[in-house]
Amino acid sequence: MESKRQHKISKLLQKDLGEIFQLDSKRLYKGAMITVTKINVTPDLSIAKVYVSIFASPDTEEVLKLIKVNSKDVRHQLARRVKHQLRVIPELQFYLDDSLDYIDNIESLLKNG
């Protein structure tokens, strides 16, 4: 169960990371549209697991690798945005959120079944 503080921090990080990806997606991520769908923050606030959905890209795994390569730069940009709210910026770990693909697959199975 997530504490109230963890929940507030995850929402803050989700908003700011979404804006960072929106501004940098054309330049760094081959024009892919990246959406931050969910963030789980550990109880000690040291690690943030960031789940992203990637659209408008034929190879989502390659874009995810680019995100991981640029994670230090993304964390630095995030630190500049939230420096007055957080003392320590959590380490960012990025994962692909495939829940939308899963939902589409279930819907297509229900329509065809």
Of 5, 27, 12, 21, residue with least CA distance to 77 = 21
Write the single-letter amino acid at 52. Answer: V
Residue 16 has pLDDT above 70, yes or no: yes
Tell me which DSSP letter residue 36 carries.
Answer: E
Per-residue pLDDT averaged across 21-47, rounded?
Answer: 88
Per-residue pLDDT averaged across 84-103, rounded?
Answer: 86
Rg (CA), the chain: 15
pLDDT the model gives residue 113: 65
Per-residue pLDDT averaged across 7-16, rounded?
Answer: 94
Second-level CATH architecture of 4-112: 2-Layer Sandwich (3.30)
**Tokens coding 76:** 């630095």
pTM, 2 dp: 0.84
What percentage of the chain has pLDDT greater than the value 70?
A: 97
**Separation in Å, CA 56 to CA 1, 8, 84:** 34, 30, 34
Q: Which residues, listed in sequence order, are joined to residue 47 by a DSSP beta bridge?
A: 91
Q: What is the residue whose two structure tokens read 């199975």?
A: 109
Cβ(39)–Cβ(49) below 8 Å: yes
Neighbours of 5 (CB within 10 A): 11
